[in-house]
Structure 1
Amino acid sequence: MAQRRSSLSTKTSRAALPSSDAPEWEVISPGVRLGYRRGRGSHGRGGTWLAASRSVDGQRLQSRLGQADDQLPADGAKVLTHEQAKDVARAWVKSLKVGNEAAPALTVNAALDRYFEAREAEGMKSLDDARTRAAFHIRPKVGSLRVADLTIEKIRAWRDGMVTAHKRLRTGKFAEKANTVAVDLSDPEVIRRRRDTANRTLTTLKAALNWAFNNRLVVDDTAWRLVKPYRGTTAARVRFLSPDEQKALIAASNGAIRDLVSAALVTGARFGELARLRVLDYDVVNKSVFIAESKSGKPRHVPVPAGGAELFERLARDRPGNEPLLRQESGAAWATSTYNRPWKALLAQAKLSDVTLHEIRHTYASTMVRNGAPLIVVAEALGHSDTRMAEKHYAHLAPSYVADTIRRLAPDI
């Protein structure tokens, strides 16, 4: 796939940028950003090149490199072309000694900061989840340690500590940090869930440290490379709503939460995908919803059944295309956690318990599989990059020639 051309690379593209004191940035190397500030009232003399990076302790550093060749010819010193500015920026960062010479001083926190900064520039999906895991599980325990001081034993002890740690109680806005309670470690399901969390967090830590190693910020990856994740942690039983439970849920709902639940049932979309939908994302001709941003980074069109078409046509009728398709009772777009209170009230009304909104997505997929949809179609509808997740969770529900043959021919008491 062709790489998108930088908006800073030509005089014409820079001239199209709005006049502002806030620079426009691009990542030119790992940990190195080139900035361009057009500035207000700078049309007669052109913009300014800037460079930014971070010190080994995570402190942000910035430097003015020179004037852009918007109006004056470049001289390689005070007036720079885009390519010359990139070279000067890299040389400035190298002068800060953030490479191998400073590697022993690189902390885990600094490695996380630089990794997240690079991934954000690359458009990494689920970055918020990775940052939350780091803030909750990684930074408080090992964030201040130097990467060079990490050992296999330290990382294993940190990983195992996530499994045995007491659970934090959230009793109020001003609850004390020490307000914790022991968990039942004799319960296999508790252990499985905690080990699964530890594995996901270990993956985040390893990704950041591997990025630092691959970019020559550290010289040895042995400590974390040899620490393996727990086995057998992903055998969670997936909850599906029966047809009667689906009907009860819809019948008990009304208003905005009914629209949200109905949209989830007919599309199988995640909450975040539904919250980002705009009116223009519903295609009234093809009776489909366009999901531009997904966890896998793969956009998709999801055809909807007749009831879904009626729902979305009602929601989109006579409204501007850029408005949220699904809205709260207040008219505002749905956001993370805003559905919790109406969702819990709906479950109580429908006399359902232990159901999450995400399980409607599983219900969508399981219903399709039970009705004979091929797993590749289900994976496409869910936005998965391949059929592995669909096979893992839903393959046992599919009508199977082998299963039908066994049931027909095996001894029966």
Structure 2
Amino acid sequence: MAQRRSNLASKTSRAMLPASDTPEWEVISPGVRLGYRRGRGTHGRGGSWLGASRATDGKRLQTKLGRADDAAPADGADILTHEQAKAAARAWVKTLSAGAEAAPALTVNAALDKYFEARTAEGMKSVDDAKSRAAFHIRSKLGNAKVADLTIEKIRSWRDGMVSAQKRRRTGKFAEKVNSVTVDLTDPEVIRRRRDTANRTLTTLKAALNWAFNNRLVSDDTAWRLVRPYRGTTAARIRFLTPAEQKALVAASNGSIRDLVSAALVTGARFSELARLRVTDYDAVNKSVFVAESKSGKPRHIPLPAGGAELFERLAQGRGGNEPLLTQHSGVEWAKAVYHRPWKALLKQARLSDVTLHELRHTYASTMVRNGAPLIVVAQALGHSDTRMVEKHYAHLAPSYVADTIRRLAPDI
């Protein structure tokens, strides 16, 4: 397809533009624009050429390049043709880049700091998890490296090192004080989990470096753009409780941990969402709870079954609107990680193992799918923007004509 000719390329086309103090712009290369201003009072002198770009901090920069050869022949200095003006604009931008290069080179640590600061200001919900992941896996290996010095091989070697390390550092998620534990690198599940972690960490690194590139703090994104994540690392099989296990878990619990478990089972909400619920978030008229902040950033209303409505009715009764709905035994609202000890004690009492509180969210979703709820309804209840995650984890549980037909007609030994 032929490229559209610029309105600024010839004297004739420029003469057809209306006289205005507002320039007409064209992009002549990435990050560089050429402008032409045919002012109202030029009095036969012709228009003027302008150049525009952005500084490394994102601030818009503009300069006057010279007059256009509308009324007088070009001299290559004060009066410029269209092509000469484009060359002058590019040369001006190079002087900006040269000045930027004189500033201290951006390190990976600095890029992470700037990225997290920007995302926090934008309301990023999972910034704490990303910060912890960066502190544990990125800063210690790449933090002091200059972003401009990163290479494809250096980033790929760092990514692969997260998988091949013989020792696993452990004492809690992303802990700073850790013990080394030898792992079995011949175990496919160990490798899968490590590759999944490497992918998540690579995503965090790329996000920070892309932010720096898009904000003109660095000039080349090739090194990280060409490093791909591992394939086939996310296991679709997840753990969820059977109806008997759900009853055993609730029956074995009491007090504040029972309320937390019950609330998780009837809402499918994440722990962080449950911990933030206030009395005013329970709608007694519509029998629902309102989740104002979620991981996706989208608020949602969760309708409650009869038992769930009774639970939240009891929790809200006689309490101030801004008080937390769910609290610890001491009356203090739940905080991150403080539920682990009572949760483990509850699992032991219920004779269950290898279950996390988050898997009550999976239990909520899987129970609805098994009972015939449309996947879009389940996705909306969980706060997902579409059905992809629900299809991935729960679609095989849905009532199926194909599955029923196979069970009815296939050979049965």
Q: What TM-score comes out, normalization by structure 1 length?
A: 0.74
CA distance in 2, matches of 1:320, 1:98: 61
- For residues 1-400 of structure 1, the aligned pairs below 5 Å read 100-102=100-102, 105-165=105-165, 166-170=167-171, 179-400=179-400
Give the distance between the partners of 2:342 and 2:295, measured in 1 at CA.
25
Which residue type is aligned with residue 208 of structure 1?
Answer: A
Structure 1 residues 357 and 332: CA distance shift in structure 2, 3 A? same
Please name the residue that 1:402 is paired with. Answer: 402
Q: Could you tell me how far 1:410 is from its partner in structure 2?
A: 3.4
What does the per-residue CA deviation read over 1:44-92, in whole Å, with 9 as the maximum and x for residues that have no partner? xxxxxxxxxxx99xxxxxxxxxxxxxxxxxxxxxxxxxxxxxxxxxxxx
Structure 1 residue 407 displacement after superposition: 2.5
Tell me the equivalent position of 2:15. Answer: none
Paired with 2:135 and 2:177, the residues of 1 have a C-alpha distance of 18
Measure, in 2, the Cα distance between the counterparts of 1:107 and 1:98.
18
Does the Cα contact within 8 Å between 1:103 and 1:218 map onto a contact in 2? no
Judge conservation of contact 1:163–1:191 (CA < 8 Å) in 2.
yes
Aligned to 2:62: none
* Mapped contact 1:99–1:217 kept (Cα < 8 A): no
Gaps of 5+ in 1: 1-54, 57-95
**Aligned-residue RMSD, C-alpha:** 2.1
Per-residue deviation, 1:402: 1.8
Q: Quote how far apart the aligned CAs of 1:99 are.
A: 8.0
Counterpart Cα distance in 1 of 2:346 and 2:102: 56
Give the distance between the partners of 2:164 and 2:259, measured in 1 at CA.
Answer: 41
Alignment check: 8 A CA contact 1:249 1:346 kept: yes
- Give the secondary structure class of the aligned counterpart of 1:325: coil
Q: Is the 8 A contact 2:300 2:381 kept in 1?
A: yes
Query: Could you report, residue by residue, the CA deviation over 1:146-202 in whole angstroms, capped at 9, with x for unpaired residues?
Result: 00110111101111111122112439xx9965x312211111111111110100000
| Letter aligned with residue 253 of structure 1 | S
CA contact (8 A) 2:236 2:392 kept: no
3-state SS, counterpart of residue 269 of structure 2 = coil
Q: CA contact under 8 A between 1:103 and 1:148: conserved in structure 2?
A: no
For residues 215 and 237 of structure 1, what CA distance do their matches in structure 2 show?
A: 40
Contact preservation (8 Å) 1:104, 1:148 = no
Quick one: structure 1 residues 369 and 126, their matched pair in 2 at CA, closer, same or farther if it must change by over 3 Å? same
User: What amino acid does structure 2 have at the position aligned with 1:153?
Assistant: E
Q: Does the 8 A contact of 1:291 with 1:301 survive in 2? A: yes
Deviation at 1:98, TM superposition (A): 11
Structure 1 residue ranges (4+ consecutive) displaced by more than 2 angstroms after TM superposition = 96-104, 174-177, 405-413
SS state of the match for residue 217, structure 2? coil
**How far apart in 1 are the matches of 2:279 and 2:99?**
48
Q: Give the aligned residue type for 1:349.
A: Q
- 3-state SS of 1:301 partner: strand
Query: Secondary structure at the residue paired with 1:137?
Result: helix
The amino acid of 2:376's aligned partner reads I
Q: Secondary structure at the match of 2:302?
A: strand
Offset, 1:220: 0.8
Q: Give the deviation of 1:104 after TM superposition.
A: 6.9
Mapped partners of 2:146, 2:380: distance in 1? 43
- 275 and 98 in structure 1: CA distance in 2 versus 1, 3 angstrom threshold: farther
Q: Which letter does structure 2 place at the counterpart of 1:168? A: R
SS at match of 2:136: helix
Displacement of 1:112 in angstroms is: 0.6
Give the secondary structure class of the aligned counterpart of 2:310: helix
Alpha-carbon contact 1:100-1:219 (below 8 Å) kept: no
The answer on whether the counterparts of 1:98 and 1:217 sit within 8 Å (CA) in structure 2 is no
Using a 3 Å threshold, how does the CA distance of structure 1 residues 99 and 297 change in structure 2: closer, same or farther?
Answer: farther
Identity of aligned residues (%): 82
Cα offset for 1:103? 7.0
Instruction: Name the SS of the counterpart of 2:290 in structure 1.
Output: strand
Name the CA distance, whole Å, in 2 between partners of 1:255 and 1:146.
Answer: 53
